[in-house]
């Protein structure tokens, strides 16, 4: 008698429906994540560069904006030297992060080289390409797909399944997305909005 044991693979429960994915997945670049986190969780928005590598579209939930100082929730991947903008609608300015104070257990305080405009609690701080004036800011990586599995970023660039069309439970996404980013992911339905 021959017995064959098979193990079922399941994606993260936050991915509620898969209609279409990138065949064979995609390679997630670890360069910008190295030293920030050890493992990238699933259900993260990524965009592709000109070489075909996928990069995280970094975001943070804004708590307060005051001039060049922005208070954000602890869940973010930003580092000093990156450019940021308020929201994914590309209407504001963008500037470089001068410092990040992580001493408070409930929030991080990001100080920018220059002001990027008005913002309020609940908006999303988004990774930008570089420093720009109002209405000129651009995404560093245009949001395209959502990762389907966790990625170890302590070793070489790793593969991940990439969701193109389906349903995602937004309340369990590790990093926030705003309506402008969601509109770029037009084939992904977001349910159970984060509060």
Residue 195, pLDDT above cutoff 80:
no
User: pLDDT tens across 107-141, in order?
Assistant: 999 999 999 999 999 999 999 999 999 999 999 99
Residues contacting 136, CB < 8 A, separation 6+: 93, 94
41-63 pLDDT, tens digit each: 999 999 999 999 999 999 999 99
Stated pTM of the model? 0.91
pLDDT digits (tens, 9 = 90+) for 63-104: 999 999 999 999 999 999 999 999 999 999 999 999 999 999
pLDDT higher than threshold 90 for residue 191 = yes
Please name each of the domains of the chain with its CATH number: 15-49+142-191 (2.40.300), 58-128 (2.40.10.170)
In angstroms, the CA 190 to CA 171 distance is 9
Confidence of residue 2 (pLDDT cuts 50, 70, 90): low
Is a pLDDT exceeding 80 seen at residue 194?
Answer: no
Sign of CA dihedral 89, 63, 144, 35: positive
């Amino acid at each position: 008698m021959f017995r064959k044991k098979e193990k079922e693979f399941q994606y993260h429960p936050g991915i509620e429906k898969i209609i279409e994915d990138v065949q064979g997945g995609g390679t997630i670049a670890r360069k910008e994540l190295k030293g920030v986190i050890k493992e990238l969780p699933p259900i993260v928005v990524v965009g592709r560069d000109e070489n075909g590598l996928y990069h995280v579209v970094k975001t943070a939930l804004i708590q307060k904006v005051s001039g060049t100082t922005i208070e954000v929730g602890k869940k973010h991947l930003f580092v000093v030297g990156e450019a940021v903008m308020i929201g994914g609608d590309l209407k504001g300015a963008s500037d470089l992060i001068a410092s990040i104070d992580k001493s408070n257990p409930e929030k991080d305080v990001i100080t920018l080289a220059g002001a990027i405009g008005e913002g309020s609690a609940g908006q999303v701080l988004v990774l930008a390409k570089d420093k720009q004036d109002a209405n000129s800011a651009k995404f560093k990586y245009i949001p395209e797909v959502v990762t389907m599995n966790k990625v170890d970023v302590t070793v070489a660039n790793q593969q991940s399944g990439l969701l193109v069309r389906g349903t995602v439970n937004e309340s369990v996404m590790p990093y926030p997305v705003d309506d402008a980013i969601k509109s770029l992911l037009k084939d992904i339905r977001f349910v159970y909005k984060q509060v």
